[in-house]
């Protein structure tokens, strides 16, 4: 028998053997007992884990999300836990913005650490979503990814923030700008985004959003290379600055990340542009520490989907105190702390409603119809939050080296997304 033939024969034999094994066991292991499981729940504790992208090749990190969650869980435990159970927070797994690691982090937390829930989950990728949904693991995080919209076990702390066809678009940005600019009538805006599918989608969304709020959208293009921030912005600013019939528009809306915004705004300001600049990402007090960013972002209005740190309330005071306690010292606040904090907060609120008899089923039952008001992310309601965002937001302006509230935190009526 030639070697080839033998190889094939052996492979076939192995195949048969293995298939037989597979058949035997697959039939016995298909059922899941997760529905009534008390995985991660004991008489006096609830095990919770997190997934956060901390180290990445792009230099972008959400690691303070972990601190925010810890701060919230610490306070819950200090207040006696949830229905008598302490939260056993394992800390967050680092997924490094890598889809494969995101999934294995989810698997590790569920299969190895046996957590009851995951809070927070904050990353640019969420490939563990299907697994968590299937394993019936309540998961709480930043709803900027489509996986937060729809699956019944996955909750965004501010709702689902990705407008879905047939869903709604939050009007916080144009409505906030209206307050800043004194109405939308006759005001022109230019919207710019990255040259990618996500950018195209952002343009589509905000074009509709601003137009329906009464603004004149004179430019809406995903034109900026998405791979890395350009060094030369003149090619992109030229067209924007002439878009309003040869004049510059009244406002320029950037739907891009911080490095892009810094380049874009610096370039635009150098041309002597006097209009309004706004973006949704640059609320990071860390940016104030550097003169270049401070200068580039000076005067820029930043959209937030939660209550600004500068706007006082009892909850905000509590938040700051919790963070200080968890960090052990005064640390500059950032939105990732808020993300982690509010993800934990939503989990705690629903868990509390679920009562003493905590199972996945009772938790899901409590979530269905859950509602509260006046939180730092506005009025929360489930399962509405799994279809659309809570629709609340604020604008802050960077002025003389610090953020000031330019449009206070408020909830607005969303519009249907076409």
Q: Rule CB under 8 A: which of 52-111 touch another protein? A: 54-61, 63, 94, 96, 99-101, 103-104, 107-108, 111
Position 286 contacts another protein (CB under 8 A): yes
Site for another protein in 180-209 (CB under 8 A): 194-201
Give the residue among 322, 340, 338 at the shortest CA–CA distance from 69: 340
Residue nearer to another protein on the CB measure, 18 or 371: 18
> Judged by CB under 8 A, how many residues of this single chain contact another protein?
93
Backbone angles phi, psi at 121, to 5 degrees: -125, 110
Residue nearer to another protein on the CB measure, 11 or 185: 11
**How far apart are CB 67 and another protein at their closest, in Å?**
13
Site for another protein in 139-168 (CB under 8 A): 145-147, 162
Distance CA 224, CA 221 (A): 9
What is the bridge-based pairing of β-strands 371-375 and 378-381? antiparallel
Site string for another protein, 19-58 (x = CB under 8 A): x-xxxxxxx-xx-----------------------xxxxx
Residue nearer to another protein on the CB measure, 100 or 185: 100
Position 285 contacts another protein (CB under 8 A): no
Residue nearer to another protein on the CB measure, 126 or 341: 126
Distance CA 396, CA 374 (A): 19
Stretch that binds another protein, among 1-9, 357-365, 390-398, 409-417 (CB under 8 A): 1-9
Q: CA distances (Å), 367 to each of 12, 131, 149, 152, 328, in order?
A: 51, 20, 15, 10, 33
Give the residue among 197, 332, 336, 194 at the shortest CA–CA distance from 263: 194
Contact 375, 342 (CB under 8 A): yes
Among the listed residues 78, 235, 371, 404, the single contact to another protein using CB under 8 A = 235
**How far apart are CB 310 and another protein at their closest, in Å?**
20
Position 410 contacts another protein (CB under 8 A): no
Distance CA 245, CA 190 (A): 12
What is the bridge-based pairing of β-strands 117-122 and 216-224? unpaired
Among the listed residues 85, 178, 207, 221, the single contact to another protein using CB under 8 A = 221
Look up tokens 């990071």; give the residue. Answer: 284
């Amino acid at each position: 028998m030639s070697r080839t033939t033998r190889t094939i024969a052996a492979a076939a034999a192995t195949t048969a053997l293995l298939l037989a094994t597979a058949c035997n066991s697959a039939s016995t292991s298909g059922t899941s007992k997760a529905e009534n499981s008390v995985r991660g729940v004991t008489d006096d504790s609830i095990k919770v884990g997190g997934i956060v992208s901390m180290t990445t090749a792009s230099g972008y990190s959400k690691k303070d999300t972990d601190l925010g969650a810890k701060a919230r869980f610490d306070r819950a435990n200090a207040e006696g836990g949830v229905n008598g159970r302490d939260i056993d927070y394992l800390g967050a797994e680092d997924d490094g913005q890598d889809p494969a690691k995101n999934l294995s982090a989810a698997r590790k937390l569920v299969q190895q650490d046996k957590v009851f829930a995951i809070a927070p989950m904050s990353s640019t990728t969420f490939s563990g979503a299907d697994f968590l949904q299937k394993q019936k693991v309540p998961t709480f995080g930043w709803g900027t990814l489509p996986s937060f919209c729809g699956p019944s076990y996955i909750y965004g702390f501010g709702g689902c923030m990705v407008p879905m066809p047939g869903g709604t678009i939050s009007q916080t940005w144009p409505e906030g700008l209206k307050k800043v600019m004194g109405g939308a009538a006759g005001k022109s805006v230019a919207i710019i985004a990255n040259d990618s599918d996500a950018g195209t989608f952002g343009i589509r969304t905000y074009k509709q959003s601003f137009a329906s709020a009464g603004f004149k959208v004179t430019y809406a293009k995903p034109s900026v290379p998405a791979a890395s921030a350009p060094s030369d912005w003149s090619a992109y600013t030229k067209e924007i600055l002439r878009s309003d019939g040869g004049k510059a528009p009244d406002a320029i809306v950037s739907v891009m990340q911080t490095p892009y915004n810094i380049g874009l705004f610096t370039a635009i300001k150098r041309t002597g542009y006097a209009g309004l600049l706004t973006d949704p990402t640059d609320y990071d007090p860390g940016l104030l520490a550097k003169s270049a960013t401070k200068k580039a972002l000076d005067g820029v209005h930043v959209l937030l989907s939660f209550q600004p740190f500068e706007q006082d309330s009892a909850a905000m005071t509590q938040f700051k105190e919790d963070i200080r306690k968890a960090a052990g010292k005064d640390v500059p606040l950032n939105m990732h702390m808020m993300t982690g904090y509010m993800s934990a907060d939503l989990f705690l609120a629903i868990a509390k409603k679920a009562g003493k008899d905590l199972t996945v089923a009772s938790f899901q039952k409590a979530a269905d119809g859950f509602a509260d008001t006046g939180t730092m992310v506005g009025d929360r309601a489930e399962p509405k939050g799994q279809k659309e965002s809570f629709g609340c937001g604020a604008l802050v302006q960077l002025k003389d080296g610090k953020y000031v509230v330019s449009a206070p935190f408020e909830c607005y009526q969303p519009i249907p997304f076409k």
